[in-house]
């Protein structure tokens, strides 16, 4: 467990009453329990209408298995008296899931001016219109950021030898500055942020331009007026699918030695930190720090940005009903070439890669005039970690204790404050069922920064019902509470709705929770089981 000095005082757990159901009727036979919901289905005439459909109800054991089947825990070796840990879990609604995630720990080489240290990277990707973009990002995004950070670091040593890719991945930031050369902290933060932005931009540039490169390489110099049929080309799907589907990406880069945290957000996934503020009597509160903004057509900052990038005549069209050109919800994303390629380019690529296979490609949005309307360049935020220093006496602390990275499927159901309370309560040792109304008393929180909501909120009264503290894995714990928590009846029904009907009730969810423990405390096992 975290140090007792900053554990909140826990009261008695109160069981809350289950919330009402308005969208399905529940029936049960002795052998096969089922429930009925309204789903959209196509009739014989091809028109969609709402019809009643019955589905099997998952058992409690099956639900528990679904929530925890992907849950993992990873612990890093002690460094500077601290052990860094993270859990990740996901729950699908789409089949297959369109979310993805990635993490990496890069150990730098020691130099005369800089000791070896661990750099921690965590990312979640929220795909849409398919899984192709998010899965690709899970393999290439963090390595691309590492390469850009290394390039930035080596700018200070123009005479350095050329490194191989393996050298770069093994030893970023291990340059030797020239005598008298230093990088001021504020300038270094700015340049690191720019390096991360370049990496995101470059990855998307490769995704969007991949099909164009394949086409250019296969256009005959003698007959460049006709579009070749490349539908059977080995790179046809490999280049087109990641460009046509799309994905948000959220990445955290932690440099504990320098006490730096960078969060890069492209899209509407969200990063939230729990800051422990200790009181004189050893108790305290959690401060909720939201480290990213939901980037959609409902974010005023994004609306102003997009309108400023296009002619004034398009001001009423670039955002419609909170969506880009009336269609796409996130205003920043990888892929999504329908919002980035000019109309004539889309038509040419359709002829080259898709038409010959007898497949269809969605046409360009009707309002598309001056693309791109969607960008992948992230907003990068920086903050200090305020970690304890090894060997120094402990004092009353205010410190970032944990960080939550999650795709929007979690934030559709839970607020930033609820998530920090749920994680804070978990690490404080809460067990069993707790009414939603009492959690604030048991786990006090304060707001440090406001959440910029990217979607129209449709959740019910958040103070009805109850939370459940039953999972060993803290990421799985959040997923459980997003879809029912202590109300097992609701949880079983929500998780029993199969794809594709489940998308009306829940989205794919991926959650990564990162935290630190003091090495001695971790070795003694004085904390909640994970």
> In the numeric block, which tokens belong to residue 259?
């006490």
CA distance linking residue 489 with residue 19, whole number of Å:
10
Tell me which of 421 and 398 has the higher pLDDT.
421
CA distance linking residue 376 with residue 204, whole number of Å:
6
Indicate whether 193 belongs to any domain.
yes
Q: What's residue 395's pLDDT?
A: 55
Q: What's residue 150's pLDDT?
A: 87
Region 402-426: mean pLDDT is 97
Q: What's residue 524's pLDDT?
A: 39
Lowest-confidence range among 41-50, 324-333, 335-344? 41-50
Smallest Cα–Cα separation from 240: which of 205, 209, 267, 217? 209
Q: What's residue 26's pLDDT?
A: 52
Helices 343-353 and 185-217: crossing angle in degrees, nearest 10, is 50
Region 265-294: mean pLDDT is 93
Query: Are the beta carbons of 125 and 242 closer than 8 angstroms?
Result: no
Q: Does the pLDDT of residue 352 top 60, yes or no?
A: yes
Q: Does the pLDDT of residue 274 top 80, yes or no?
A: yes
Lowest-confidence range among 15-19, 260-264, 294-298? 15-19
What's the length of the chain? 530
Q: What's residue 181's pLDDT?
A: 38
Q: What's residue 13's pLDDT?
A: 36
> In the numeric block, which tokens belong to residue 164?
């191989």
Indicate whether 327 belongs to any domain.
no
Residue with tokens 């009414």: 435
Neighbours of 316 (CB within 10 A): 10
Q: Does the pLDDT of residue 519 top 60, yes or no?
A: yes
Number of structural domains in the chain:
1
Which pTM does this prediction carry? 0.87
Per-residue pLDDT band at 459 (split at 50, 70, 90): low
Smallest Cα–Cα separation from 408: which of 525, 272, 310? 272
Query: Are the beta carbons of 153 and 146 closer than 8 angstroms?
Result: no
% the chain with pLDDT above 70: 82
Helices 488-496 and 60-68: crossing angle in degrees, nearest 10, is 70
CA distance linking residue 420 with residue 443, whole number of Å:
9
Query: Are the beta carbons of 125 and 101 closer than 8 angstroms?
Result: yes
Indicate whether 190 belongs to any domain.
yes
For residue 181, the SS3 value is coil
What does 15-83 look like in DSSP terms, one character per residue? PPPPPP--SEEEE--SS--EEEEEEEEE-TTS-EEEEEEEEEPPPHHHHHHHHHTT-EEEEPPPBTTEE
Q: What's residue 387's pLDDT?
A: 86
Q: What's residue 20's pLDDT?
A: 34
Distances (CA, A) of 212 to 237, 281, 347, 362, 447: 13, 64, 12, 18, 47
Region 291-318: mean pLDDT is 96
% the chain with pLDDT above 90: 69
Per-residue pLDDT band at 222 (split at 50, 70, 90): low
Q: Does the pLDDT of residue 275 top 70, yes or no?
A: yes
CA distance linking residue 195 with residue 129, whole number of Å:
29
Indicate whether 325 belongs to any domain.
no
Indicate whether 360 belongs to any domain.
no
Q: Does the pLDDT of residue 314 top 80, yes or no?
A: yes
Indicate whether 324 belongs to any domain.
no
For the domain that residue 419 is a member of, what is the CATH number?
Answer: 3.60.40.10
Residue with tokens 């799907």: 237
Q: Does the pLDDT of residue 105 top 60, yes or no?
A: yes
CA distance linking residue 101 with residue 80, whole number of Å:
27
Per-residue pLDDT band at 8 (split at 50, 70, 90): very low
Q: Does the pLDDT of residue 114 top 80, yes or no?
A: no
Strands 270-278 and 284-290: antiparallel
Smallest Cα–Cα separation from 117: which of 273, 264, 262, 254? 254
Q: What's residue 160's pLDDT?
A: 41
Residue with tokens 């969810």: 509
Q: What is the pLDDT of residues 197-216, one digit of tens each?
A: 999 999 999 999 999 999 99
What does 412-432 look like in DSSP terms, one character per residue? TTS-HHHHHHHHHHHHTT--E
Its domain, for residue 167, covers: 4-300+375-523
Q: What is the pLDDT of residues 369-384, one digit of tens each?
A: 999 999 999 999 999 9
Region 240-248: mean pLDDT is 98
Q: Which residues contact 390 (CB under 8 A, 6 or more apart)?
A: 80, 81, 82
- 296 secondary structure, DSSP code: B
Helix (H) or strand (E) holding 469: strand 466-469
CA distance linking residue 7 with residue 281, whole number of Å:
11
CA distance linking residue 193 with residue 262, whole number of Å:
8
Q: Which residues contact 224 (CB under 8 A, 6 or more apart)?
A: none
Q: What is the pLDDT of residues 504-515, one digit of tens each?
A: 999 999 999 999
Indicate whether 359 belongs to any domain.
no
Q: What is the pLDDT of residues 151-200, one digit of tens each?
A: 877 764 443 444 443 343 343 333 333 333 344 557 889 999 999 999 99
CA distance linking residue 522 with residue 524, whole number of Å:
5
Region 325-347: mean pLDDT is 97
Per-residue pLDDT band at 223 (split at 50, 70, 90): low
Q: Does the pLDDT of residue 6 top 90, yes or no?
A: no
Query: Are the beta carbons of 406 and 510 closer than 8 angstroms?
Result: yes
Q: What's residue 12's pLDDT?
A: 33
Q: What is the pLDDT of residues 93-102, one digit of tens each?
A: 999 999 999 9
Distances (CA, A) of 52 to 49, 115, 304: 10, 64, 43
- 164 secondary structure, DSSP code: P
The top-scoring range by mean pLDDT among 21-30, 185-194, 379-388, 470-479 is: 470-479
10 Å CB burial of residue 60 (0-12, 13-18, 19+) is exposed
CA distance linking residue 332 with residue 249, whole number of Å:
9
Q: What's residue 175's pLDDT?
A: 33
Tell me which of 515 and 28 has the higher pLDDT.
515
Mean pLDDT of the chain: 85
CA distance linking residue 140 with residue 426, whole number of Å:
33
Tell me which of 28 and 432 has the higher pLDDT.
432
For residue 338, the SS3 value is helix
Indicate whether 209 belongs to any domain.
yes
Query: Are the beta carbons of 254 and 260 closer than 8 angstroms?
Result: yes
Per-residue pLDDT band at 283 (split at 50, 70, 90): confident
Q: Does the pLDDT of residue 473 top 90, yes or no?
A: yes
Tell me which of 281 and 489 has the higher pLDDT.
489
């Amino acid at each position: 467990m975290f140090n007792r000095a900053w554990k909140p005082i826990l009261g008695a757990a109160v069981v809350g009453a289950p919330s009402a159901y308005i969208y399905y009727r529940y029936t049960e036979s002795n052998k096969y329990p089922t429930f009925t919901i309204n789903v959209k289905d196509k009739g014989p005439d091809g028109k969609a209408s709402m019809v009643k459909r019955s589905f099997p109800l998952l058992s409690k054991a099956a639900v528990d298995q679904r929530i925890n089947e992907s849950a993992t825990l990873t612990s890093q070796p002690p460094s500077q008296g601290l052990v860094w840990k993270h859990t990740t879990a996901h729950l699908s609604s789409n089949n297959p899931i369109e979310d993805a995630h990635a993490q990496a720990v890069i150990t730098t080489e020691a130099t005369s001016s800089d000791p070896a240290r661990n750099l921690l990277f965590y990312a979640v990707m929220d795909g849409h219109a398919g899984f192709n973009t998010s899965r690709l990002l899970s393999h290439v995004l963090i390595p691309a950021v590492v390469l850009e950070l290394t390039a930035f670091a080596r700018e200070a040593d123009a005479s350095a030898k050329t490194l191989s890719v393996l050298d770069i991945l093994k030893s970023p930031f291990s340059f030797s500055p020239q005598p008298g050369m230093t990088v001021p902290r504020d300038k270094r933060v700015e340049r690191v942020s720019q390096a991360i932005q370049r990496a995101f931009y470059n990855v998307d540039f490769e995704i969007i331009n991949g099909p164009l490169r394949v086409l250019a390489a296969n256009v005959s110099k003698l007959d460049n007026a006709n579009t070749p049929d490349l539908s059977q080309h080995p790179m046809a799907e490999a280049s087109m699918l990641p460009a046509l589907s799309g994905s948000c990406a959220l990445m955290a880069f932690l440099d504990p030695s320098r006490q730096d945290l960078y969060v890069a957000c492209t899209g509407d996934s969200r990063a939230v930190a729990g800051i422990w503020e200790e009181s004189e009597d050893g108790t305290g509160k959690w401060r909720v720090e939201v480290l990213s903004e939901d980037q959609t057509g409902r974010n005023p900052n994004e609306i102003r940005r997009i309108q400023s990038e296009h002619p004034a005549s398009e001001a009423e069209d670039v955002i419609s009903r909170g969506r880009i050109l009336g269609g796409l919800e996130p205003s920043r994303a990888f892929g999504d070439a329908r919002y980035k390629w000019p109309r004539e380019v889309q038509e040419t690529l359709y002829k080259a890669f898709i038409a010959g296979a007898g497949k269809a490609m969605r046409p360009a949005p009707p309002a598309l005039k001056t693309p791109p309307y969607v960008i992948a360049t992230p907003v990068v935020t920086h903050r200090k970690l305020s970690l304890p220093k090894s060997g120094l006496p402990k004092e009353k602390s205010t410190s970032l204790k944990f960080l939550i990275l999650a795709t929007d499927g979690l934030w559709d159901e839970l607020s930033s404050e609820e998530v920090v309370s749920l994680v804070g309560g978990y690490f404080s040792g809460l067990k069993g069922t707790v009414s939603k109304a009492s959690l604030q008393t048991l786990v006090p929180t304060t707001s440090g920064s406001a959440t910029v909501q990217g979607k129209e909120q449709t959740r019910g009264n958040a103070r009805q019902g109850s939370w459940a503290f039953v999972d060993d894995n803290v990421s799985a714990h959040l997923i459980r509470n997003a879809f029912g928590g202590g109300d097992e009846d609701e949880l079983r029904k929500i998780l029993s709705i199969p794809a594709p009907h489940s998308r009306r009730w829940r989205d794919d969810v991926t959650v990564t929770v990162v935290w630190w423990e003091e090495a001695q405390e971790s070795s003694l096992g004085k904390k909640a089981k994970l």
